[in-house]
Copies of this chain bind each other. A is one copy, B any other.
């Protein structure tokens, strides 16, 4: 069969490219490219339908290289497909090249950055969901390594994909038996892996990953069982080169020049074959363009309302206005109030159960396909997805995260449920916008702002109800702040956000009684911080400021202000400095030093000088 022979030739070309590229770069992971070369050839030039002229053609089958360290193989595929010049492969890992060590969307065919293992299946599930929402016939293929199947997120994704009946999702696992430092848990016991995927509700088949006909047959059967399909391919790491094949100790090592020469001798010269001819064009498919209203109507909040409730209300309003908005839940939607959206729009909302890593990964996938995913859980539990948030940043993903139940103000549920490190986590992400509303009006505005902003946005919401501070028309631009009750002669500035704005206002009233005048800044945009306003207002109040936040000391609002004003103000920083415990919200604010009475004391000390 000519086709099988051609695919074999393409695979050999991919192997040769991968070896040459990594030797030229002086680093990289050639052996993991060699194990997967036949799989890649069969996927891109055998099974998948895609238009090499347009990475954003909605008719394209999508591909996620979950085993991101096989990046050279992926670049080789695109070179063979005519997407990038062959000679550009030798720029691998150069600072001037988009062919990075692990894939990032700087290369336009990459929809999500990979390289932190075990994340690709969630991203693929998100893309497959998007394709289903689009009513597209296209599918999503994810290439995993066997080593990364030790990551729990793979099983979160597997469970969700099965629950969501994603028959348009295909996982191909390159079971090359060898991890980085040790053989993998199951080595070549492919049945062990098959049992796991089957138990998680997948159609799982085992094939020889170096037999083109077997791979093609397995791929051709994908989805036939009405389930997501896992093709578990027995391969050899370093396949095709005798002295590295199936040998431990060759992870992440390029061949030296003489080794490369020997390897190329074994592989023979670059076989003549035009891979481009083998790409299956997709059936034309146009996505129905969803038209979004420019904004949604605002609520005239009057009564004390929790910002988390206002978030939920606003999310529903936004969802009505913009059909591209979707949501994923980690089984807390009745606490984050995302449930309103879920009830109104079951088709655009997805229950990921208690699996925050998968929730964020699925969001990255949906965002890559043009949807605007909102994901909310307790801020404390977003730490579970820190690595996924990190990779979302490298994916330049347009995702929106909401962390509810922040700080000691949640009260009796205790420290495990308190988000006290979330500002540090999101402030460390370059370009991530961090919004921390103090009342229902600003919470509603935060949702609108998040939707309008292109890129990652984090919204921090509070459990208890808080008084309404702003009129319904108030605007809250990214990078702004609100100066509350400013007068000439103010002696200090209190910088607060969220729940502490209300403590600061109480403190202000208390101080007023003894003739101490202060102004309060609601720093609702924690990142980017409104450094200009803070600098000006604090300078006007004698360079004296108290920053108060319901967050640990490291990486929160206090340090943001300190860094922004370095050298220009005397700051006192009130925050949670020890590991808190269960108690009533007011008791905890008091015990951990962030209540009105502590603010009063701090201002008095500053003013006294």
A contact set with B: CB distance below 8 Å = 25-28, 68, 93-95, 97, 100-102, 104, 106, 113-118, 147-148, 150-156, 159, 163, 179-182, 184-185, 192, 195-196, 198-201, 329, 331-335, 339, 351-355, 357-358, 380-381, 383-384, 386-387, 389-391, 393-394, 396, 411-417, 420-421, 424-425, 427-431, 527, 543, 552-556, 558-560, 562-563, 565-571, 573, 576-579, 581-584, 587-588, 591
Which chain B residues lie closer than 8 Å to A196 at the CB level?
Answer: 196, 199-200
Contact at B384–A331, with CB atoms within 8 Å? no
Given A95-B587, A118-B354: A421 and B563 interface contact (C-beta under 8 Å): no
CB distance from A216 to the nearest CB of B (A): 27
A67 to B196, CA, bound (A): 24
Nearest Cβ in chain B — how far from A180, in angstroms? Answer: 5
User: Given A114-B416, A416-B114, do A93 and B331 touch, yes or no (CB 8 Å)?
Assistant: no
Q: Find A566's partner among B116, B155, B571 (CB 8 Å cutoff).
A: B571
Q: How far is the CB of A199 from chain B (nearest CB, A)?
A: 4
Most chain B Cβ neighbours within 10 Å, of A153, A353, A543: A353
A413, A568, A583 — most chain B CB neighbours (10 Å): A413
Whether B554 and A424, one on each chain, are in contact in the complex, defined by CB atoms closer than 8 angstroms, is yes
- Find out whether the CB atom of B150 lies under 8 angstroms from the CB atom of A353: yes
* 23 chain-A/chain-B pairs, Cβ below 8 angstroms: A93-B582, A94-B583, A102-B417, A114-B416, A116-B384, A147-B331, A150-B354, A151-B354, A152-B357, A181-B333, A181-B339, A196-B200, A380-B387, A383-B386, A383-B387, A383-B389, A396-B579, A424-B554, A566-B569, A566-B573, A567-B567, A567-B569, A567-B571
- Establish whether residues B412 and A334, one from each chain, have CB atoms under 8 Å apart when the complex forms: no
User: What are the residues of chain B within 8 A of A93 when measuring CB–CB?
Assistant: 412, 414, 582-583
Asked whether, in the complex, the Cβ of B95 is within 8 Å of the Cβ of A583, the reply is yes
Known: A102-B414, A115-B414, A182-B331. 9 other contacts (CB 8 A): A94-B583, A101-B414, A106-B581, A151-B156, A185-B353, A196-B199, A390-B421, A424-B425, A559-B562
Report A26 CB to chain B, min CB distance, Å. Answer: 8
> Which residues of B are found within 8 Å of A199, using beta-carbon distances?
192, 195-196, 198-200
- A159 contacts which chain B residues (CB < 8 A)? 150, 185
Flag if A414 contacts B104 (CB, 8 Å).
yes
Which residues of the other chain, B, contact A587 by a CB distance below 8 angstroms? 95
Q: How far is the CA of A151 from the CA of B353 in the complex (A)?
A: 8
Query: Which residues does chain B contribute within 8 Å of A573, judged by CB atoms?
Result: 563, 566
Docked-complex contact A430 and B566, CB < 8 angstroms: no
Chain B residues within an 8 Å CB radius of A560 = 554, 559
Shortest CB-to-CB span from A308 to chain B, Å, is: 14
Q: Which residue of B lies closest to A358 (CB)?
A: B152
Which one of A148, A150, A560 has the highest number of Cβ atoms from chain B below 10 Å of its Cβ?
A150
Residues of B within 8 A of A425 (CB): 386, 421, 424-425, 428
Nearest 5 pairs of A and B residues by beta carbon? A152-B152, A555-B555, A115-B416, A95-B583, A427-B554
Enumerate chain B residues within 8 angstroms of A333, measured Cβ to Cβ: 181-182
A581 x B329 contact (CB < 8 A) = no
Complex CA gap A431/B415 in Å reads: 15
Q: How far is the CA of A555 from the CA of B551 in the complex (A)?
A: 13
Chain B residues whose CB sits within 8 angstroms of the CB of A394 once the complex forms: 415-416, 579
* B102 adjacent to A413 (CB under 8 Å): yes
Kindly provide the distance from the CB of A148 to the nearest chain B CB, expressed in whole angstroms.
6
A318 CB to closest chain B CB (Å) equals 20
Contacts of A150 in B (CB 8 A): 156, 159, 331, 352-355
Q: Which residues on B sit within 8 Å (CB–CB) of A113? A: 415-416
CB of A275 to closest CB in B, whole Å: 25
Complex Cα–Cα for A152 and B152 (A):
4
Verify A428–B421 contact, CB threshold 8 A: yes
A479 to B369 Cα, complex, angstroms? 48
Nearest Cβ on chain B to A114's Cβ, whole angstroms: 7
Q: Name A567's closest neighbour in chain B (CB-CB).
A: B570
Cβ contact within 8 Å between B563 and A559: yes
Q: Measured between alpha carbons, how far is A200 from B149 in the docked complex, in Å?
A: 12
Known: A198-B199, A555-B555, A566-B569. A581 touches B424 (CB 8 A): no
Taking a contact as CB atoms closer than 8 A, the residue among B179, B195, B355, B428 that contacts A331 in the complex is B179
What CA separation (Å) do A179 and B560 show in the bound complex?
A: 38
Note all chain B residues with C-beta closer than 8 A to A101: 412-414, 417, 582
Q: Which residues of B contact A571 (CB under 8 A)?
A: 563, 566-567
Nearest chain B CB to A7's CB is how many angstroms away?
Answer: 30
Q: Are A554 and B428 in contact (CB under 8 A)?
A: yes
Return the chain B residue nearest A384 by Cβ.
Answer: B387
| Inter-subunit contact A579/B351 (CB<8 Å) | no
Q: Within the assembled complex, what's the spacing in Å between the Cα atoms of A329 and B185? A: 13
A582→B100 contact, CB < 8 A? yes
Contacts of A148 in B (CB 8 A): 354
User: Is A154 within 8 A of B151, CB to CB?
Assistant: no
A118: chain B residues within 8 A (beta carbon): 354
| B-side contacts of A155, CB under 8 Å | 152, 155
Chain B residues within 8 Å of A421, by CB = 386, 390, 425, 428-429
Scoring A159, A163, A181, A357 by chain B CB atoms within 10 A of each residue's CB, the highest score goes to A181
When the two chains form their complex, are residues B152 and A95 in contact, meaning their CB atoms are under 8 A apart?
Answer: no
